[in-house]
Amino acid sequence: MEDEEMDPRGIRDRIDAQRRWFQGGLVRGSAARRQRLRLLKRQLIRHEDRLLEALRADLGKGGFGALFSEIAPLYGEINHAAAHVGRWARPRRVRSSPAVFPSSARVIPEPFGVALIIGPWNYPVQLLLSPLVGALAAGNCAVLKPSELAPHTSAAVAAMIREGFDPREVAVVEGGREEGKALIEARPEVIFFTGGSRVGREVMAAAARELVPVILELGGKNPCVVDRDTDPKSAARRIVWGKFYNAGQTCIAPDFVVAHRGVKQALLEAMARALGRFYGPDPADSPAYERIINRGHLDRLEGLVRAARQGGRILSGGQARPGELYLAPTIVDGIGWEHPLMAEEIFGPILPVLEYEELEELIDRLRHRPRPLMLLVFTRDRAVEGRLIEAVPSGGVSVNDCLLHSLVKTLPFGGVGESGMGRYPGKAGFEAFSYPRGVLRRSQGFDLTLRFPPFPTFKAQGQRLMRHLVRLMR
C-alpha cells in the first residue's frame, strides 16, 4: 500500500498493521533500534538535495539556512540517540519496600507501540523527524503526518521514508484535517503534535475521546527582556537574527521585546543597523530572507501591520508583496500592553518593542500572561537573570541569545500550560515515547503469615505496635 492520502479504512489498516508488527517484537532490542536510526540518517543523506529543494519551494528557505535549521540538527540527534539508546533502554533497579521482603524491584522503559507524529509547516522536516528519532530510539513503530501546508516537503519526506522503511515500521500518511482526524480515531498508542494552540486543543480533545496520551509542542508569546545592564549591539544582533529567521515563523523566537527604558533607544538603533547588515537595503532581494507560508497567513500579518500603524510607530519594514508571499521584517515602537499585537502569538516578521522601568512591575505583568514556550533574557546581571527565571514561568529559558536552546540535545525542550506539555529531544524524547513499567519480583520461600486471614487480634498495646511497624514500612 503506497504512503499517500488514504480513506479512514486504509488509515485504520495502516495503524493495525504497525500494531501487529510491534507485537511481533521485531523492533524491541537496542540493536534493532540503532539500525533503524542509522537507516534514517542514510535516507536523510540520500534525499538531502530533494528536501532542500522542497523547503525552498514551500518557504523560500535558502540552501545553507535550510540545511542549518532543518537537516543538520537531525544528524546530531540521530548520532546522540544511537550512541546512548542502549543505556537509556536498560532496566534499572530501584529499592524495594520492607513490606514485601524478600523482593527485588526494577523499572523497564517500555515503548508505547504505534506513535502518531503530526508535524508543522514552519520547520516541516526537522520538527517532523526529530520526534521520530525519539520514537525509534524508544522502540516504537511510527506513522508520520506531515503538514499539508508544506506540500513539496510533505511529498519529499514521504518518498524518503517509503524508499527506506517497511511501512509496518515507519509510514507516512499525507493529507489534511480529515486524514489527521482519522489517524487519531484509529487509536495509536501515543500522539506527538507540533503546531498552534488552537489545533493543539482539538488534537487533545480528540485524543481524550480515544484515551490516547498526547505530547503537545505548541507556541506562545515569548517575551524577550533586555535589561539595562546589557550590550545593546550584541543583543540587537541576536534578537534580529532570532526573530526574523524563517520570516518570524519560529515557535521559540522572541514574540515581543521589553527593553529597559535606559537601553531601549540604543537597542532600537542597533536593531535597525543589524537589519541592514543581514538583509541589505531591500530584504525582498535577499536570498537569506524567507517567505510566509501562504496567503491566509500573510493576510493575517498584514492586518497586524495595519493595527501597528494605527496604534504605534513602524520603525522598519511594513511593506508586503502578496504575489511573492513577502512581508518585510518589521519593528514596531510605541505600543502598550493592551495593543492588538500583544493579544496572540504573532508568528511572523513583526516585532513589537515595549519598555519597562521597574523589574518587579515587569515580572507582575509577565506572570499574569499565559505561560510561554520560551523566556528570553538579555542581561549581564546574574541577580536579574535569576529573579526572572525564578518568577516568570515558561517552558524553557534562553539567556543572552535566541533559538540556540533547541540545539542542545541534553536540554529537555517543551512548553508548559498553553505552550504545551511533554519534552524532547535526546533522552527526554526517548522518555516521551516510553512509559516506565514497574516490575516486582518476590521469593517463593518466605511469607509473613500476618498478611493472610484469619487476622490476629491484638490488645491495645499490640495495636499500637502494629501501627508503628506499618508506618516504618511506608
Q: Name residue 364's amino acid.
A: D
312: left (phi over 0), alpha (psi -120 to 50) or beta: beta
Longest dimension (CA), the chain: 92
Q: DSSP code of 4?
A: S
| Secondary element (H or E) of residue 152 | helix 151-164
Q: CA–CA separation, 40 vs 344, rounded Å? A: 37
Cell of 145: 503526518
242: buried, middle or exposed (CB in 10 Å: 19+, 13-18, 0-12)?
buried
Q: Which of 129, 134, 133 is nearest to 146 (CA)?
A: 129
Q: DSSP of 318-374, one letter per residue?
A: --EEGGGTEE--EEEES--TTSGGGTS---SSEEEEEEES-HHHHHHHHHTSPPPSE
129 CB-contact burial (10 Å; exposed 0-12 / middle 13-18 / buried 19+): buried
Cell 493592551, residue located? 338
C-alpha cell at 250: 519560529
How far is residue 115's CA from residue 214's CA, in Å, rounded to a whole number? 10
- Catalytic positions, written as ranges: 217, 251
Distance, CA of 85 to CA of 338 (rounded, Å): 48
- Cα 84 from Cα 137, distance rounded (Å): 9
CA geometry: angle 82, 86, 88, nearest 5 deg? 95
